[in-house]
């Protein structure tokens, strides 16, 4: 017998046999309990789980088969024996069908009974062991399932897309980011995913899979998933090793790089525009100097002076452009030191008008300034505000007609200080207006031919206005003048 004593239930209406059996079993190391009829047997079986049960088939109250059924229902792992003097083939079959382990014909010798019970108890221990293993496995499966859900939650909370394939290209794991970027609605673990991934990604994964040896490196590729750079991703594929160092699979991490790709494109476009704008005046200056330095070319002193003058003007305009560019770059890098203080915008505009006096006089332009006092106060950096309005006002002079006028109006509107600058100049078309604030954009027509400029003034204006979370509107028609309205927030948000 095992360390633990087997518990046996004896259900028999024959008193002598019942008590005799109980005594015998107790002397043999069993713990035995006896029930004198079926009902008592069922009651005991309901309150205890017995290892073994010996059930008499014929009892006056309840049939042994019914008792067997009830015990099996309560504790299916109790090993039950049917004992009867009226053994018949049919009842034997029926009781085994109902789960009796064996049949004990009465009368039985103590040896016969003990032999059967010991075999039954071995069976019972096997059943219990199997049951324990099954439970353990279920618990482990539950644990694994729990681990999997936890891992999935973690994976799904990563903004990057991630998917893992095994070395036969079947999907092993993925997160919702991967589904989103790759626009996949239904994929399942075990799918052969390589065929539906973008070819650029498949090619890298295939390289890992096809390699005879384990490649320890990661490889990245950029994929335009939606046309016109609407969705550009960077996929980085890395090998996943087995513990023996061989390839288990490949993990692919997908990052949305649309914004940085756009910024890069704008940057390189800007650099090429700058280079182009610098090249033209430089080439002109080199051309003039070359002629002057060339001994073969006869140039009169007057001509020489003219060339040098023109070179000087070109270089001067280059310096202006470089300064404008430096301003833009400082603003982009947010390097410019800001000194925010209360400004009187009308005073700033007056000082700009004074500064432009010579040009105004040259073109005989009159300026009027209306203020809706006390509307003129604003907290901002003086240099920036000065730069902003100097650019707009100098354009209003440059692109104005002779004997024209400029009208400035300062007022409050909601949370904004609004400065309207209207001129009676050449105006512009709708198409020209749309490009006005782009770097280096200059309207090219007969009217603008003689007017110098860098095309950066309004680009700087836009940046300054943006940096104060303000806005700027332009109304204009060709030949009818233009009105620039600058809205600056009265309460600074930055």
Residues that bind ligand ADP (CB under 6 A): 391, 395-396, 399, 423, 425-428, 436, 441-443, 448, 453-459, 482
Q: Which is nearer to ligand ADP, 207 or 442 (CB)?
A: 442
Q: Which is nearer to ligand ADP, 195 or 431 (CB)?
A: 431
| Shortest spacing between CB 402 and ligand ADP, in angstroms | 14
- From CA 234, how far away is CA 103, in angstroms rounded? 74
Q: Which is nearer to ligand ADP, 222 or 368 (CB)?
A: 368
121 within 8 A of 6, measured Cβ to Cβ:
yes
Q: Which is nearer to ligand ADP, 5 or 420 (CB)?
A: 420
Q: Which is nearer to ligand ADP, 233 or 456 (CB)?
A: 456
| Shortest spacing between CB 437 and ligand ADP, in angstroms | 7
| Shortest spacing between CB 475 and ligand ADP, in angstroms | 11
In the block, which residue shows the tokens 């490889």? 219
HSE-CB of 95 using CA atoms within 13 angstroms: 29
| Shortest spacing between CB 322 and ligand ADP, in angstroms | 14
| Shortest spacing between CB 299 and ligand ADP, in angstroms | 32
| Shortest spacing between CB 334 and ligand ADP, in angstroms | 21
Q: Which is nearer to ligand ADP, 233 or 472 (CB)?
A: 472
Q: Which is nearer to ligand ADP, 203 or 328 (CB)?
A: 328
| Shortest spacing between CB 488 and ligand ADP, in angstroms | 19
- From CA 420, how far away is CA 436, in angstroms rounded? 17
Which residue sits closest to ligand ADP, CB atoms considered?
A: 453
């Amino acid at each position: 017998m095992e360390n633990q004593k087997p518990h046996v239930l004896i259900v028999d209406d024959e008193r002598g046999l019942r008590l005799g059996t109980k005594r015998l079993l107790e002397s043999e190391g069993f713990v035995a309990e006896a029930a004198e009829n079926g009902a008592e047997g069922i009651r005991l079986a309901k309150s205890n789980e017995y290892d073994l049960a010996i059930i008499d088939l014929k009892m006056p109250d309840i049939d042994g088969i019914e008792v067997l059924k009830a015990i099996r229902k309560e504790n299916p792992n109790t090993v039950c024996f049917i004992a009867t003097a009226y053994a018949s083939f049919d009842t034997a079959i029926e009781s085994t069908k109902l789960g009796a382990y064996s049949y004990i014909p009465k009368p039985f010798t103590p040896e016969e009974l003990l032999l059967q019970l010991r075999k039954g108890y071995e069976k019972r221990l096997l059943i219990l062991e199997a049951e324990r293993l099954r439970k353990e496995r279920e618990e482990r499966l539950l644990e694994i399932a729990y681990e999997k859900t936890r891992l999935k939650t973690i994976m799904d909370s990563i903004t990057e897309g991630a998917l893992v394939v095994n070395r036969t290209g079947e999907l092993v794991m993925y997160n919702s980011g991967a589904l989103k970027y790759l626009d996949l609605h239904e994929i399942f673990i075990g799918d052969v995913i390589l065929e539906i991934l973008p070819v650029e990604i498949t090619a890298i994964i295939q390289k890992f899979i096809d390699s005879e040896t384990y490649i320890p490196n990661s490889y990245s590729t950029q994929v335009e998933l939606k046309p016109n750079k609407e969705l550009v991703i960077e996929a980085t594929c890395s090998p996943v090793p087995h513990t023996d160092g061989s390839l288990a699979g490949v993990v692919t991490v997908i990052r949305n790089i649309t914004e940085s790709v756009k910024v890069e494109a704008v940057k390189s476009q800007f650099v090429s525009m700058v280079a182009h704008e610098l090249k033209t005046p430089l080439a002109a200056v080199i051309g003039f100097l070359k002629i002057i330095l060339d001994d073969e070319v006869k140039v009169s002193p007057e001509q020489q002076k003219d060339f040098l003058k023109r070179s000087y003007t070109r270089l001067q305009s280059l310096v202006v452009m470089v300064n404008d560019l430096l301003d833009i770059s400082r603003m982009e890098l947010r390097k410019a030191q800001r000194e925010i203080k209360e400004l009187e915008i009308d005073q700033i505009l007056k000082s700009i008008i004074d500064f432009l006096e010579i040009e105004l006089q040259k073109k005989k332009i009159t300026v009027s300034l209306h203020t809706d006092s006390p509307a003129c106060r604003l907290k901002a950096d003086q240099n920036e505000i000065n730069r902003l309005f100097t650019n707009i006002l100098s354009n209003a002079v440059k692109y104005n007609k002779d004997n024209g006028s400029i009208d400035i109006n300062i007022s409050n509107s909601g949370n904004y200080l609004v400065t309207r600058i209207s001129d009676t100049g050449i105006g512009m078309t709708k198409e020209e207006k749309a490009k006005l604030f782009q770097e280096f954009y200059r309207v090219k027509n007969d009217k603008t031919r003689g007017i110098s400029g860098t095309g950066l003034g309004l680009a700087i204006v836009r940046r300054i206005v943006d940096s104060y979370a303000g806005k700027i509107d332009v109304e204009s028609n060709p030949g009818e003048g233009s009105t620039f309205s600058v809205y600056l927030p009265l309460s600074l948000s930055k």
